[in-house]
Amino acid sequence: MERGKLIYYEGGEGCGKSLQLKLMRDYLVGKGIRVINTREPGGTPLSERVRDILLDTKSKEIENWSEALLFQTSRALLYYNLVIPKLKEGITVQQDRGRDSSLAYQGYGRGGDLGSIKRLNKLSTFGYEPDLAFIINISPEKGLEKQLSSDRMSIDGLEFHRRVNKGYFEIAKENPNNYIVIPYIENGLEEMHEMMKIHVNKLFNF
């Protein structure tokens, strides 16, 4: 059986990746592809409990490396219990955030050692890598303005989110073959979706 595809949707706060994930799922289902959507942190009952700790604004005692390791714990639980089994069943998995969020947020944003985070990413994903990754580029100013929730990550200052945004560009440059930067378009949900479909069609040979 052919392994399912793994697709990431990444980007800063308020970029609309969750909506794009849903649109693409509907498109793929219409094409006869078996697909599930999941998210990081979270995606399984235990991973969701870790998510609650990470994003709770009351979790003030979490320092940078504790935060990084909690994200990795949630990821390992997700991959072992959901992502890898589904991929082996030939089911495509779409993720609302993935390993690259650790690099962007805990690495570039928090100043964590990038080499260490990359090694942890490899461990927590059991070596699985995305077949395709979309990075939606929205300015930090616009993204924070649009962000509806106020979790631990979104309430960090503008300079933090500028570093995160820069980090995503660096990640895309390091992975030119399968990482695609999609410009955020105000009121352009369908236009952005059409841009993404071009690359998804290539991935599935539609």
Q: What pLDDT was estimated at residue 47?
A: 95
Q: What pLDDT was estimated at residue 55?
A: 84
Round to whole Å and give the CA distance between 205 and 128.
21
Round to whole Å and give the CA distance between 112 and 127.
21
Q: What pLDDT was estimated at residue 150?
A: 61
Per residue of the chain (206 residues), give pLDDT as tens: 899 999 999 998 889 999 999 999 999 999 999 999 999 999 999 999 999 998 877 777 888 899 999 999 999 999 999 999 999 999 999 999 999 999 999 999 999 999 999 999 999 999 999 999 999 999 888 878 766 556 656 567 899 999 999 999 999 999 999 999 999 999 999 999 999 999 999 999 99
Round to whole Å and give the CA distance between 166 and 86.
32
Q: In the CATH hierarchy, which top-level class contains the domain 6-204?
A: alpha beta
Give every CB contact of residue 61 below 8 A, 6+ residues apart in sequence.
Answer: none
Round to whole Å and give the CA distance between 105 and 59.
17
Nearest CA among 112, 129, 123 for reference residue 167 = 112
In this predicted model, what pLDDT tens digit does every residue of 7-33 receive, in sequence order? 999 998 889 999 999 999 999 999 999
